[in-house]
Amino acid sequence: MGSTSSVWKRLCVRLFNRKSIINYIIISLSSVAILFGLMNYTPSVDKMRAKALDTISKMSTSEYFKEDISTVNDIKAEYKDKLKQQILKQDLSKTVSKFNKAVSKVKTKPEMIKSLIKKLEKYRKDIYSDEDKESAKELIHKFKIGAKEDSSKEALKDRYLDIEEQILKFKTVKQHEEEEARKVKIAARWTVAGSNEYPFKLSSDGNFIMPIDMNGSHGYLTGKWELDNTTVTIHIQKNTVDENYKPYDWIFNYDEDADTLVGTGQFAGWEYTKY
């Protein structure tokens, strides 16, 4: 038992004498230095550099609009040599981060065109009728083909706004639903506001009828009516008193807040209310 204790004492003296402790410190510091070096110069550094340089090599001025060409050239000139020269990971990381931010601010032609097409496609998905959707699809294709020829952002913007304007004219699902609700309100009996003159009825099935008196004879004007947003068009097709009657349209604007029909054209100033 005494022999074992003696062995442990000698072992502790060897392990923890002054010289051994100094050696341990030196080894520990060396390990930390090696670890730091490995962290700051590893194959990942070369990968970061290679990826950034590859991006620069693909930044062809032909892929950008003329307004951005000088900016693209400035980015390439500023970062190409800097990326090649830096070795430490933390330095290169900062440079790559700044480079990526600079590149992200300058979009290529394909990126900008794709972004605008995505916006037009969103409009198309909101369109109500299949026929209008197909027309919008053709307009988007027209934009896609033509946009490739645009050399400036201004030209692309003008082309986009023209196509956007045409697509936005198509009735959306929401507009259709609002219009259907409006039709329910409009399908009623109407007469000139403040009187019982010239009454007519707009039926929910789209028919129009108005009693008339001509030359002492009693009869009716009949026809159809339709709604486009807030415009009510009455197609008067027949006069039961006059066989030589020529059809014409009577157009009103529906004021939803006041729940009135306001005449236009030759009937401007006429206002109808329900009765």
**Each residue's pLDDT tens digit, 122-157:** 999 999 999 999 999 999 999 999 999 999 999 999
CA dihedral 5, 10, 11, 17 (to 10 degrees): 140
The phi-psi region of residue 130 (left if phi > 0; otherwise alpha if psi is between -120 and 50; otherwise beta) is: alpha
In angstroms, the CA 136 to CA 7 distance is 93
- Residue-wise pLDDT tens digits, 29-71: 555 445 445 454 455 777 878 888 888 888 888 899 999 999 9
Residue 273, helix vs strand vs coil: strand
User: For position 12, what pLDDT does the model report?
Assistant: 58
Please, what's the largest Cα pairwise distance for the chain? 144
pLDDT of residue 123: 98
Any idea what the Cα angle at residue 150 is, between residues 146 and 153, rounded to 5°?
125
C-alpha–C-alpha distance, residues 75 and 207, integer Å? 68
- Compute the mean pLDDT over every residue in the chain, rounded to the nearest whole number: 86
Question: Rounded CA gap, 259 and 230, in Å?
Answer: 11
* Distance in angstroms (rounded) separating the CA atoms of residues 240 and 215: 12
pLDDT of the residue at 33? 47
Spatial separation of the C-alpha atoms in residues 64 and 156, rounded to whole Å: 12
Tokens matching residue 144: 């896609």
Q: Rounded distance, CA 234 to CA 266, Å?
A: 14
**pTM: predicted TM-score of the whole model, two decimal places:** 0.67
Q: Which residue bears the tokens 């072992």?
A: 11
Which tops the pLDDT comparison, 17 or 77? Answer: 77
